[in-house]
């Protein structure tokens, strides 16, 4: 939640159990593993100590707990033991870049006067990342928008911006955020993220520290269907 670049961390095993298909589940007191959500895939990696090595094949958030699902490669890790958590750095960095790039498209859309389209969904997986908006873009505008978006995205990336992440009370969200999803929970602070111009939105995922790390972005396609617009993108 605080540091997307923390790739190694110390934790303690609280629970060990098994999935229905016979895989192991470890639950730790604290974790750096990102469970799938917010359009971002889970982290992979290892959990280990002197008594065993556990390969994390899947991470899910379920009933308030992060489930590290996988198999024992060697030995056995038991409840109460201290462990070292190691996440796959390359995968985390790529996921953080794609996640941040998705936010940046929102910013470029606003800069180009398309903020009347409401962001609805994001898919930030390496397999065909895209963002979706409610509303359509006239066909004759799409080619110019593709070029305009690429230009504006790469302008922002070359100028750079330190990504801001903070917690906000529900009452502050309206002032700080350019969009607040209706499902924002009551009674607890919400994590909000800005990738440009102090324009925040609620997000619980991982991001790069500075958008300059994105290198170069390109727009693959703008597609409109059933009243929605889907913008596919790539991050270098
Ligand atoms: Zn995000």
Rounded Cα distance, 179 and 66, in Å: 27
pLDDT at 182: 76
Residues 44 and 32: beta-carbon distance below 8 Å = no
3-state class of 1 per DSSP?
A: coil
Residues sharing a CB contact under 8 Å with residue 103, sequence separation 6 or more, in sequence order: 193, 195, 196, 201, 203, 207
From ligand 1's centre to the CA of 122, what distance in Å?
A: 9
From ligand 1's centre to the CA of 205, what distance in Å?
A: 5
pLDDT averaged over every residue in the chain: 96
Tell me the per-residue pLDDT of 189-204, one tens digit each, with 9 for 90 and over.
999 999 999 999 999 9
Task: Specify burial of residue 123 (Cβ count, 10 A radius: 0-12, 13-18, 19+).
Answer: middle
For residue 185, pLDDT over 90 is answered with no
From ligand 1's centre to the CA of 55, what distance in Å?
A: 26
Split at pLDDT 50, 70, 90, the class of 226 is very high
Residues 58 and 42: beta-carbon distance below 8 Å = yes
Q: What is the mean pLDDT of residues 134-163?
A: 97
From ligand 1's centre to the CA of 145, what distance in Å?
A: 23
Q: Among positive and negative, which fits the CA dihedral 128, 197, 153, 207?
A: negative
CA distances for 50 relative to 74, 81, 97, angstroms? 10, 10, 34
From ligand 1's centre to the CA of 79, what distance in Å?
A: 33
From ligand 1's centre to the CA of 201, what distance in Å?
A: 8
Provide the β-strand partners of residue 17: 25
Q: What share of the chain is helix, strand, coil (3-state, %, to 5)?
A: 25, 40, 35
Split at pLDDT 50, 70, 90, the class of 46 is very high
Split at pLDDT 50, 70, 90, the class of 26 is very high
Which percentage of the chain shows pLDDT scores above 90?
94
Q: Which helix (H) or strand (E) covers residue 113, if one does?
A: none
From ligand 1's centre to the CA of 32, what distance in Å?
A: 16
From ligand 1's centre to the CA of 138, what distance in Å?
A: 28
From ligand 1's centre to the CA of 41, what distance in Å?
A: 12
CA distances for 220 relative to 42, 123, 146, 158, 233, angstroms? 24, 14, 8, 20, 5
From ligand 1's centre to the CA of 191, what distance in Å?
A: 10
For residue 225, pLDDT over 80 is answered with yes
Closest CA to 67 of 106, 110, 14: 14
pLDDT at 186: 81
pTM of the model: 0.95
């Amino acid at each position: 939640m605080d540091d997307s670049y923390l790739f190694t961390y110390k934790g303690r095993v609280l629970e060990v159990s098994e999935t229905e298909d016979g895989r192991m589940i470890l639950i730790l007191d604290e974790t750096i593993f990102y469970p799938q959500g917010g359009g971002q895939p889970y982290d992979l990696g290892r959990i280990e100590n002197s008594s065993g090595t556990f390969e994390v094949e899947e991470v899910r958030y379920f009933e308030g707990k992060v489930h590290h699902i996988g198999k024992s490669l060697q030995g056995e890790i038991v409840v109460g033991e201290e462990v070292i958590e190691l996440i796959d750095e390359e995968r985390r960095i790529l996921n953080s870049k794609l996640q941040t790039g998705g936010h940046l498209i929102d910013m470029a859309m606003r800069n180009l006067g398309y903020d009347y389209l409401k962001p609805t969904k994001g898919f930030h997986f390496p397999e065909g990342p895209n963002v979706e908006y409610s509303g359509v873009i006239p066909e004759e505008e799409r080619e110019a928008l593709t070029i305009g978006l690429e230009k504006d995205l790469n302008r922002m990336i070359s100028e750079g911006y330190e990504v801001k992440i903070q917690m906000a009370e529900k009452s502050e969200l309206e002032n700080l955020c350019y969009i607040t999803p209706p499902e924002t929970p009551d009674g607890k602070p919400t994590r909000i993220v800005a990738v440009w111009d102090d324009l925040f939105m609620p997000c619980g995922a991982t991001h790069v520290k500075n958008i300059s790390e994105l290198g170069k972005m390109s727009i693959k396609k703008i597609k409109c269907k059933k009243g929605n617009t889907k913008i596919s993108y790539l991050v270098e």
